[in-house]
């Protein structure tokens, strides 16, 4: 068994801490609005949203990408590599899908190892050579092995729940009944409705970046060729900036490189769902 690196332990601890912060924030907001009853409602809402997004994660992601299953006899070389790498990773072979998008990219999804899906785009197979595709597939298997689909679903669902509760807080402050003395401070509610969703998004993005580093490390170990993944990331980022992809922004965190890379957004570094590609490549070469 391979030892987990110091950076791997740090990223895992960071993920656990940030997930706890997200969940605690959601319950705290509910408690501030409705006492223990509000906290309970927030907790139940979190369970419902998390459960739904996690259970249907594979269906939602595949449909959003327009991907179709690779049938027996199609892309035999890729199916062979997927089976070999899955054996090296010690997990069941995921279902293989292909998306018609010309942008080179890939993602993994599914609620557990036995329901997992690895999807690649047509553009990925056209731009990368076989060695680089193996590196990308190994990266996606790293996500599956480390249950990152579950972690990402939980983070996204809780962040969505926080936004929903914050919006409800704003509505409650504007239209809620009761005496003025009992009604929460409208300025405080306004700040809550603005800052809570932003804070949740920043934490969610931080979790996503930590999991990408871990999947890179795992992918390098699974394939035994970290530089193949490094070369693939360099090529993918170059093409992603030039070739658009029609994808729901909510699904962007699933891809090996954010499909919207290159778009200029103010304060983008706070909301980046993926680490800088140059840093990812440097870490892979260091392996």
Active-site positions? 140
Please tell me the distance from the alpha carbon of residue 78 to that of residue 72, in angstroms, as a whole number: 11
- DSSP-derived secondary structure letter, 255: B
Q: Report which of 194, 190, 161 is spatially closest to residue 174, judged by C-alpha positions.
A: 190
Q: Is 224 left (phi over 0), alpha (psi -120 to 50) or beta?
A: left
Residue with tokens 């997927």: 82
Backbone angles phi, psi at 264, to 5 degrees: -85, 120
**266 vs 58, 248, 255, 269, CA distance in Å?**
32, 20, 22, 8
Measured distance CA(212)–CA(194) in Å, rounded:
28
DSSP conformation class of 45 = H
Please, what's the b/e burial string for 94-109 (b: 16 or more CB within 10 A of its CB; e: otherwise)?
Answer: bbbbbbebbbbbbbbb
Residue ranges of E strands in 51-174:
68-69, 95-99, 106-109, 117-121
CA neighbor of 233 nearest in space, from 85, 127, 126, 162: 127
How far from each other are the two terminal CA atoms of the chain, in whole angstroms?
Answer: 17
> Facing residues of 107 across strands?
119, 255
Q: Hey, what's the torsion of the CAs at 133, 138, 144, 146, to 10 degrees?
A: -150
């Amino acid at each position: 068994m391979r030892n987990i690196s110091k950076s791997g332990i740090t990223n895992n601890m960071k993920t656990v801490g940030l997930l706890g912060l997200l969940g605690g924030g959601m319950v705290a907001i509910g408690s501030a609005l409705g006492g223990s009853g509000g906290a309970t409602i927030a907790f139940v809402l979190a369970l419902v949203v998390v459960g739904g997004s996690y259970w249907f994660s594979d269906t939602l992601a595949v449909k959003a990408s327009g991907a179709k299953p690779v049938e027996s006899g199609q892309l035999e070389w890729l199916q062979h590599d997927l089976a070999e790498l899955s054996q090296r990773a010690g997990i069941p072979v995921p279902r293989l899908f292909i998306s018609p998008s010309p942008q080179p990219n890939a993602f993994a999804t599914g609620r557990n190892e036995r329901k997992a899906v690895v999807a690649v785009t047509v553009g990925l197979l056209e731009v990368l050579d076989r060695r680089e595709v193996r590196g990308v597939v190994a990266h996606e298997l790293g996500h599956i092995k480390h249950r990152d689909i579950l972690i990402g679903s939980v983070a996204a669902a809780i962040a969505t729940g926080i936004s929903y509760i914050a919006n409800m807080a704003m509505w409650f402050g504007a239209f809620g009944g009761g005496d003025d003395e009992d009604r929460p401070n409208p300025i405080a509610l306004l700040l809550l409705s603005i800052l809570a969703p932003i804070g949740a998004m920043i934490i969610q993005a931080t979790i996503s970046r930590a999991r990408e580093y871990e999947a890179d490390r795992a992918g390098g170990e699974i394939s035994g060729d970290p530089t193949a993944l490094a070369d693939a990331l360099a090529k993918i980022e170059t093409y992603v900036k030039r070739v658009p992809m029609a994808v729901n922004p909510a699904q962007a965190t699933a891809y090996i490189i954010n499909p919207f890379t290159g778009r200029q957004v103010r304060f983008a570094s706070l909301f980046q769902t993926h680490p800088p590609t140059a840093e990812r490549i440097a870490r892979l070469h260091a392996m």
